[in-house]
Structures are given as C-alpha cells and as structure tokens.
C-alpha cells in the first residue's frame, strides 16, 4: 500500500491526538450551513430516494462536473462531512448533490426494505436517472464509511461508465465481518452500541408508520419477530438486514457486500482515504495493494480516526485532499 507524500501527510491538531477524539469531533462539532434544493427520485419498486442539491445550478457548474455524495450509517445529506465538502465545492463553483439512502431524508420510505452496506442497486438506479437528465455532465462520486463501501461495490460491479470521471472513498469498512466484530470489543463497543440503538429505534418507528400506511409491508416486518432484544450490529444484520434484503444471515450479507471483493474490478480513477487508527475499522480489514485494480490508489495515514482527519494546518485537510483529486 502507498502512504501519502509530504503534501498529503496528515498531522492531527494537537487537541485531537488519537482516533477516538478525531472521530467524535467530526461527529459533534459545529457544521457549516449549506442551502439545499430537494429532488425526489421515484424508484421502479414504488419507493423513492431524496436528493439534496446545493443551489448552484449544475448547468453552471465548473467543467460540467457534478459531485455525488453517499453518506454513512445513520447519516444523511446534512451530515457534517458532507456539508463541509459541499461548502468548499460551492466556493469553487462546482455543483454537488447528496443522496439520502432510503428512510434517511427525514421521511419514512414506503417499503419494509431500507438501506445497507451493499445497496448498490439504489445508487445505480438513481445515477442512471441523473445521467439521463444531465447527459453532458461528468460525475465524481464521494462516499463516506457505509456509503464508501456501497460506492466501491457498485464501481466494481459496473467497472466503468462514460459519465463517471472519478471516485473517492473515505474510511471504508472494506470487510464488513471484521468491522462488525470490532464493534463488539473494547472501546469500539461504544460505537456499536450507539449504532444499534439508533437502528433499532428507527426500525421500530418505521414499523409503526407502515402499520397505518402500508399494512402489507408492516406484515413483512412483523415476521421478523420481537426486535427489542437486539444488542449488537451483528445481531441487527442477522435478524433484520439480511432477511429484509434477501440474504441468508449476517455472514452471507457480509460476504456478498464487502467492497474488498470488488476492488480489483474498478475501472474508474479512484482514491481511497483511510486511517490506520480508525476505531471502527480494524487494520486487518484494510486491503493489500494487490487487491486493488490499477485505477485505484490508497492514501493511508497513520492517524485520522473514522471520517475525522481534523488538522490545524490546513484545518480542512480531508476536504482539500478530495478537492485536489477532483480538480486534477
């Protein structure tokens, strides 16, 4: 694997010296405000996905570029890392759009199914509709965490597309089983417990919602049994994610959706930004150089946490690395 040059070397700000503080600061620090214009994409299965565009008209975007964002687990288009990047792109005259996975836009989706780390079919359908709407534009995809895994899986499946120019994946959980296991151990259990509480609560709210608006879909959820006792990401994936989305359990889901299996098929110029001290992604999950296609390069830093990379000089190190890659 290649590490960064001196230009790309990440040095954390002194008051966020290790991975946990980097991760938590990015999560809870004040976010930039970015005005959004919402577009709803109707899907072929009768569900929908909401996109949030910046107010910069894509037809006026620099070099006819559209940057397309995919958020992480329990995130949305208003996640701090997306807003920070969209703000910088606005300053550069580059249009961008953030896709909210099903049920993440502030409104419940219509079906029992939701989103997961391998839901590349939704990305493919949304992109196909946007590519038809903006045939003269080139797209750059940026995914974070779960969204990064989805992005890399999708790129490996399609290999290349004439309207896709580049892609960036930040803090990717390349091996879903290893990452699920990591959140059962040590301090990383805090993250696992946070996510599982959010996921179970959202799932229960969705079940209540569907009972009023779509009883048939509510019945699909009821078949999963009592979910209140779920206490880990692995258990959530085994009892909810897998059966709802056609997998034979958590292990089958992890095996089929881990992006590590798709990296050698990617034909799009792709940058992986990864930290060795990411508290959610164990080092054994990070792929070796021989697992990457020639079009994929990795910027692997010693520090940075999970979608953290908060540095004092420059203070937007992650965003600058992405911008530099987009503009080349």
| Residues with a known catalytic role | 145, 278, 306
Q: How would DSSP label each residue in 246-279?
A: T-SSHHHHHHHH-GGGTGGG--SEEEEEEETT-T
Nearest to residue 292, comparing CAs of 321, 314, 271, 318? Answer: 271
CB atoms within 10 A of CB 289: 10
d(Cα 220, Cα 241) in Å, to the nearest integer? Answer: 12
Q: How many residues does the chain have?
A: 328
* Crossing angle between the packed helical segments 146-158 and 120-133, to the nearest 10 degrees: 70
Taking a C-beta distance cutoff of 8 angstroms, is the pair 150, 119 a contact?
Answer: yes
User: Can you tell me the distance from the alpha carbon of 172 to that of 166, in angstroms, rounded to the nearest whole number?
Assistant: 17
Task: Name the residue among 5, 3, 1, 79 with its Cα closest to residue 36.
Answer: 79
Contact 197, 211 (CB under 8 A): no
What is the distance between the alpha carbons of residues 123 and 267, in angstroms, rounded to a whole number? Answer: 17
């Amino acid at each position: 694997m290649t590490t960064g040059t001196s230009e790309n070397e990440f040095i954390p700000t002194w008051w966020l010296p290790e991975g946990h503080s980097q991760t938590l600061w990015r999560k809870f620090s004040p976010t930039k405000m970015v005005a959004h214009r919402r577009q709803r994409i109707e899907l072929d299965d009768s569900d929908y996905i909401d996109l949030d565009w910046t107010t910069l008209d894509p037809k006026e975007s620099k070099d006819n570029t559209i940057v397309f964002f995919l958020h992480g687990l329990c995130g949305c288009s208003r996640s701090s890392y997306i807003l920070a990047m969209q703000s910088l792109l606005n300053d550069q005259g580059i249009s961008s759009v953030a896709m909210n996975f099903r049920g993440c836009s502030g409104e419940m989706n219509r079906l029992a199914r939701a989103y997961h780390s391998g839901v590349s079919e939704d990305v493919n359908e949304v992109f196909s509709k946007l590519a038809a709407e903006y045939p003269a534009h080139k797209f750059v995809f940026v995914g974070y965490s779960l969204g990064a895994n989805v992005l890399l899986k999708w790129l490996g499946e399609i290999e290349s597309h004439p309207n896709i120019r580049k892609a960036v994946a930040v803090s990717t959980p390349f091996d879903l089983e290893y990452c699920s296991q990591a959140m059962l151990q040590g301090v990383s259990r805090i993250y696992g417990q946070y996510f599982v509480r959010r996921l179970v609560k959202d799932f229960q709210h969705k079940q209540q919602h569907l009972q009023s608006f779509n009883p048939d879909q509510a019945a699909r959820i009821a078949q999963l049994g009592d979910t209140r006792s779920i206490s880990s990401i692995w258990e959530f994936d085994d009892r909810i994610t897998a059966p709802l989305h056609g997998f034979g359990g958590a292990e089958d889901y992890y095996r089929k959706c881990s992006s590590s299996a798709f990296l050698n098929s990617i034909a799009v110029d792709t940058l992986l930004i990864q930290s060795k001290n990411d508290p959610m992604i164990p080092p054994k999950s990070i792929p070796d150089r021989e697992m990457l296609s020639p079009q994929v390069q990795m910027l692997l830093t010693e520090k940075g946490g999970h979608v953290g990379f908060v540095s004092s000089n420059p203070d937007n190190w992650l965003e600058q690395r992405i911008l530099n890659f987009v503009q080349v």
